[in-house]
Structure 1
Amino acid sequence: MKAVISRFVAILILVIPGIVACFGFLQMKTATFDYFAAFGNDAVIPKFSWLTFIVGFILFAVGIGFIGGWIFFRDRKHNYVAPRFKKKRPRPNV
């Protein structure tokens, strides 16, 4: 039972940043779409909502960065990475 709970927690740790990244991407998409959609309406002067776009970009970057770091360190632990990314061993003092 303990293994099932620990795997469930591990899945949640990966799903939450994924949802955050998706929400950030949707915020950036919405800000861009609203700006370009306003060009079709002559009664409105198109304004780009920078705050929504920047918050969306930050959420997207944090979510993707967390997932990417998780995968990188897991692969480093199993020696699946290129030699330049492997942990450096200290040289013995002679």
Structure 2
Amino acid sequence: MIRIIAVLMLLVPGLISAYGIKLMRDTLFNEFHPIFFHNSVQFMIGLLLFLGGIWFIGGFIVYRDRKKQKEKQNNYN
């Protein structure tokens, strides 16, 4: 049951990232959505959605690895 919840937690940011990629691609091919008033605004919203989704997924993986002690501790001192 916990694995299903974890997959769903990663599915939503993945879909958000995919929608961000779609918005950026639509901007490059001159397909504008009516809720955005300028093409650069549409591209920036898409970029933010993409980066936010990737950031969440990356943070989830790092947190899980640290919790299970699979990540190396870097000591640069």
TM-score bucket (shorter structure) = 0.7 to 0.9
Q: CA deviation at 1:10?
A: 2.0
What residue identity is the alignment partner of 2:70?
Y
1:75 and 1:58 mapped to 2: Cα distance?
25
Task: Give the unaligned 5+ runs of structure 1.
Answer: 36-47, 86-94
2:70 counterpart (80, 83, 86): 80
Q: Which has the higher contact order (CA 8 A, sep 6+)?
A: 2
What SS is found at the alignment partner of 1:61?
helix
1:27 and 1:82 mapped to 2: Cα distance?
37
2:4 and 2:69 mapped to 1: Cα distance?
25
Which structure: larger Rg? 1
**Considering only aligned residues, what root-mean-square deviation do their CA atoms show, in Å?**
2.0
Q: CA deviation at 1:28?
A: 0.7
Instruction: Give the TM-score normalised by structure 2.
Output: 0.76
Instruction: After the TM superposition, list the runs of 4 or more consecutive aligned residues in structure 1 that deviate by more than 6 angstroms.
Output: none
1:58 and 1:70 mapped to 2: Cα distance?
18
Count of equivalent residues: 69
Task: Give the unaligned 5+ runs of structure 2.
Answer: 32-37
Instruction: Give the TM-score normalised by structure 1.
Output: 0.64
